[in-house]
Amino acid sequence: MNYGMRFRRADAFDKADDPCWHPVEAAPLNEVETLQQEKLRVQMDYLKERSPFYQTKFGDAGVDFDDIKTIQDLQKLPYTVKTEVRESLAAQPPFGLHCAADLKDIVQMQASSGTTGNPSYVALTEPDAEMWHEMTARCFFANGVRPGDMALHAFSLAKGFVGGIPVVQALQYMGAIDVPVGADGGAERLLRAAYDTRPRCIVGAPNFVIHLAEKAEEVLGVKASELGVERIIVGGEPGGGIPAIRARIEELWGAKCCEMLGGTDLGVAYWAECDDQSGMHMVNMDHIITELLDNDTGKIIPFADGAKGEMIYTAIGRQASPLVRFKSGDHIEVLGTTCSCGRTGPKIRCVGRTDDMLIVRGANVFPSAIQSIVADMAPDTNAVMRVLADFEGHTTQGALKVIVERGPGRDPGRDGALKKDIEKRLRDSLVFKADVQIVAADTFEKPGVAKIALTLRKDPKLP
């Protein structure tokens, strides 16, 4: 794919009033599937010629590349899992045995956050990098960013994260202007930049953009809602899809908040909410094939309303670090299959990650689900919690310890009643027994550059 540009797509401003950034987002699904299968066959031919990693993996599975002609044929193949990617990277640094492009053709590299182990390094050829710009531009456009917009960059710009340089590149590509301060610059500098440049949009992690808004009056002498921001684009951690947290963001900034979802292994972002705010659409079906795995049955299931499972991704059209049937670890729920915006990709919300999931007396519990319930109880709570998983592994037979900040100005004498109320709501909604500890508002460090870790493995020894 080549749009003949280096920074900005030549026709970016022609798209400002379009319903979607790219027509494929609203194409009939049968047409999309035909396109996907054409690109899948090309990708298989490429891997057959260029990927020793998949040559070995397919051979071990007794499957020939030529056998994979349809999306259904993908089910003949084994999954690619994170541990295999890490082993591949260790076996042949820096980009692994699964890198299927020559080093001379690689123009960019990115790194995962490494929150569950060492960072993964991902290579991009020039067509790969432009594909990333295109995929992310579609997400920003769905989220409400338009060519000509000023966008304050509140994701981290450091450490090679995809929320850094690739976000800058995608915004430039679509004709927007990135204000490149980054979370690394600190809340005060970001707020000063917001005051000076009056951006229409802010992009950042949900908990951090709340923190920014709460500090605005102290730093600037005006409320965040007086800065003229119209769009808050969030991602990178749970929160944007939690109604109480979204409502808090929108109240503080006086702006609409939309969520996006992605991951370094496949791109920056590939799912994004439209103005309907009823779930994130897959807006990149011509670049990624998605399957939904029911972990209970081990079967691939349709993207039907209410379906739940783990996202499986296959890159199509990728050169340097292609992945086939990659188990993302993202557990999602399908919220709908039609939308007033006209996009045909299914709408989802991410309910948690495999890495985060805890099993409490047989019940699967995602910390983000606990966060949602605690946030719904504001202002009695401060919408802030941490799970204390002070046991080996991810399974416990005891009550799960949950630490919750009481709301600002709330009477500590009512902590006993608040504790019981939270424990009851968690038991009724998530079917597990919790042991809740109530602590003062602002006990935990305010959000910064790093993602918020909702699970603690060691007792923080709070008063």
Domain check: are 27 and 149 in the same one? Answer: yes
Q: What is the DSSP string of 267-281?
A: EEEEEEE-TT-SSEE
**343-354 average pLDDT score:** 92
pLDDT at 111: 87
pLDDT at 267 over 80: yes
Confidence class for position 360, pLDDT limits 50, 70, 90: confident
Domain span including residue 77: 16-277
Domain stops at, among 251, 277, 303: 277
**446-462 average pLDDT score:** 78
Which residue type does 154 have? A
Tell me the CATH number at 242.
3.40.50.12780
First-last CA distance in the chain: 57
In a domain, 175, yes or no: yes
Domain check: are 407 and 259 in the same one? Answer: no
Domain check: are 73 and 216 in the same one? Answer: yes
How far apart, in whole angstroms, are the C-alpha atoms of residue 155 and residue 182? 5
DSSP three-state, residue 460: coil
How far apart, in whole angstroms, are the C-alpha atoms of residue 226 and residue 113? 33
Domain check: are 265 and 374 in the same one? Answer: no
The helix or strand, by DSSP H or E, that contains position 196, with its residue range, turns out to be: helix 187-197
**311-321 average pLDDT score:** 97
pLDDT at 418: 95
pLDDT at 46 over 60: yes
Residue 323 has a CB neighbour count (10 Å cut-off) of: 21
Domain check: are 273 and 363 in the same one? Answer: no
Question: With 0-12 CB in 10 A as exposed, 13-18 as middle and 19+ as buried, what is 312?
Answer: buried
Domain check: are 248 and 371 in the same one? Answer: no
Residue showing tokens 């791109």: 267
pLDDT at 127: 96
**32-54 average pLDDT score:** 97
How far apart, in whole angstroms, are the C-alpha atoms of residue 35 and residue 56? 27
In a domain, 58, yes or no: yes
Higher pLDDT, 158 or 172: 172
Contact 427, 433 (CB under 8 A): yes
How far apart, in whole angstroms, are the C-alpha atoms of residue 129 and residue 106? 9
The radius of gyration computed from the CA coordinates of the chain, to the nearest angstrom, equals 22
pLDDT at 262: 94
> β-strands 395-396, 358-360: how paired?
parallel
Alpha helices in 201-289 (DSSP H): 206-220, 243-253
- β strands within 72-131, DSSP E: 106-111, 121-125
pLDDT at 301 over 70: yes
Domain check: are 157 and 259 in the same one? Answer: yes
Contact 219, 188 (CB under 8 A): yes
> Residue 207: which of 242, 162, 159, 167 has the closest Cα?
242
How far apart, in whole angstroms, are the C-alpha atoms of residue 359 and residue 236? 24
The average confidence (pLDDT) of the chain is 92
**33-42 average pLDDT score:** 98
Domain check: are 107 and 248 in the same one? Answer: yes
How far apart, in whole angstroms, are the C-alpha atoms of residue 393 and residue 390? 9
Task: Give the full edge-to-edge strand order of the sheet including 381-388.
Answer: 434-439, 400-406, 381-388, 455-456
pLDDT at 4 over 50: no
**77-96 average pLDDT score:** 93
Higher pLDDT, 181 or 460: 181
In a domain, 328, yes or no: no
- 437: which 2 tokens? 């500890």
Number of domains making up the chain: 2
- 18: which 2 tokens? 């379009």
In a domain, 291, yes or no: no
Contact 95, 89 (CB under 8 A): yes
Q: What is the DSSP string of 383-439?
A: EEEEEE--SSTTEESSPEEEEEEEPTT--GGGHHHHHHHHHHHHHHHH---EEEEEE
pLDDT at 449: 58
**226-250 average pLDDT score:** 92
358 φ/ψ sector (left φ>0, alpha ψ -120 to 50, else beta): beta
pLDDT at 431: 81
How far apart, in whole angstroms, are the C-alpha atoms of residue 257 and residue 251? 10
Q: Which residues pair with 353 in a beta bridge?
A: 330
- 334: which 2 tokens? 């399908």
Confidence class for position 5, pLDDT limits 50, 70, 90: very low
pLDDT at 463: 67
**Whole-structure pTM value:** 0.87
Least confident span in 23-37, 113-127, 231-245, 324-338? 113-127
- β strands within 102-149, DSSP E: 106-111, 121-125
pLDDT at 3: 46
Domain check: are 167 and 259 in the same one? Answer: yes
pLDDT at 167: 96
**341-348 average pLDDT score:** 97
Domain check: are 363 and 217 in the same one? Answer: no
In a domain, 286, yes or no: no
pLDDT at 245 over 70: yes
pLDDT at 6: 67
How far apart, in whole angstroms, are the C-alpha atoms of residue 427 and residue 421? 10
pLDDT at 299 over 50: yes
In a domain, 221, yes or no: yes
pLDDT at 448: 67
Task: Let me know how long the chain is.
Answer: 463
pLDDT at 387 over 70: yes
**330-346 average pLDDT score:** 96
Confidence class for position 117, pLDDT limits 50, 70, 90: low
How far apart, in whole angstroms, are the C-alpha atoms of residue 454 and residue 435? 16
Confidence class for position 7, pLDDT limits 50, 70, 90: confident
Domain stops at, among 235, 254, 277: 277
Domain check: are 208 and 110 in the same one? Answer: yes
pLDDT at 190 over 80: yes
pLDDT at 114: 56
How far apart, in whole angstroms, are the C-alpha atoms of residue 197 and residue 199? 6
In a domain, 439, yes or no: yes
pLDDT at 446: 78
Domain check: are 93 and 202 in the same one? Answer: yes
Output DSSP code: residue 236.
S
Domain stops at, among 259, 277, 295: 277
Tell me the CATH number at 399.
3.30.300.30
pLDDT at 98 over 50: yes
pLDDT at 308 over 50: yes
In a domain, 28, yes or no: yes
How far apart, in whole angstroms, are the C-alpha atoms of residue 284 and residue 165? 20
